[in-house]
Amino acid sequence: MDEHSDYFLGFKAGKLYGYTDNSDLKDGVEVINAQNVIHSLSGTTFDISNSKFNFTPIGRFNFENILAAISACHVLGFGFDEISNVIKNVNSVEGRFEIIDLGQDFTVIVDYAYEPAGLNALYKTLDLFEYNNVIHVVGSAGGGRDVARREVLGKMCAKHDGIVIVTNEDPYDEDPMIIINDVASSAKSFGKTDGKDLFRILDRREAIEKAITLAKKGDVVLITGKGSEPVMAVADGKKIAWDDRVVVKDILNKTINRYES
């Protein structure tokens, strides 16, 4: 149950809608309970009453958001079948748990998460699926700001990722290697070893290529911090063209062609 549920249940209303496994919340509360929930890398399927739902965006947080939207629409008088027909056309947000699939036997995910809360939500989403190993390309955005976040990111990566590759990510006017070393040193202090399961690579393209090269069947290559952003912010207010997704596709195409030739 959501940690804030008691707060919302305290408001007076003719009916309140939500979703929970507990149908005995409060008198006058109509419960919308999603059942037969199946999470996969192609989306989420579930049932409400006798209606079947197929929702493409991946992740527990997306699932919770869509259930809130379903509840709101149902309060307004829309039937579950009617809502289902609309939801099946909802597409994933670019750069948010975006899977890049060019036929490789491992999964590549590009995500915008750049701070601990977002990264934690991302790890929770990954826990819904089966995979062998996570190879994570990570940095720390906002050079000169929120320095304390770097240690937290390094610790989280050391805990959740099999291989951590720390690279450049919007350094602004700060030396990017200082940022990289701050994150990597934290990961090292929590168990990672340089050259074995921890790598410090300044060039972001080289870092992504390293991750893809290391990936084996059933692995997840996770690339965080930029998502669908089209530029990288560097020194003197300059912004250079950059898109993680374009780079990933280029590297995958070259890798696949090399194996096939």
| Whether residue 247 has pLDDT greater than 90 | yes
Q: Distances in Å between the alpha carbon of 243 and those of 100, 161, 197?
A: 13, 23, 25
Higher pLDDT pick, 222 / 33: 222
| Whether residue 259 has pLDDT greater than 60 | no
Do residues 138 and 183 touch, judged by C-beta distance below 8 A?
Answer: yes
| Confidence at residue 4, expressed as pLDDT on a 0 to 100 scale | 76
Q: Is 252 helix (H, G, I), strand (E, B) or coil?
A: helix
Q: How far is CA 169 from the centre of its chain?
A: 17
Query: Which class for 210: exposed (0-12), middle (13-18), buried (19 or more C-beta within 10 A)?
Result: buried
Greatest CA separation for the chain:
68
Domain boundaries, the chain: 5-87, 98-260
Q: What's the token pair of residue 130?
A: 């089966």
Question: Which residue type sits at 31?
Answer: V
- Fold for 98-260, please state it: Protein-Tyrosine Phosphatase; Chain A (3.90.190)
| pLDDT tens by residue, 197-238 | 999 999 999 999 999 999 999 999 999 999 999 999 999 999
* pTM (predicted TM-score): 0.85
| pLDDT tens by residue, 79-120 | 999 999 999 999 988 999 999 999 999 999 999 999 999 999
| Whether residue 158 has pLDDT greater than 70 | yes
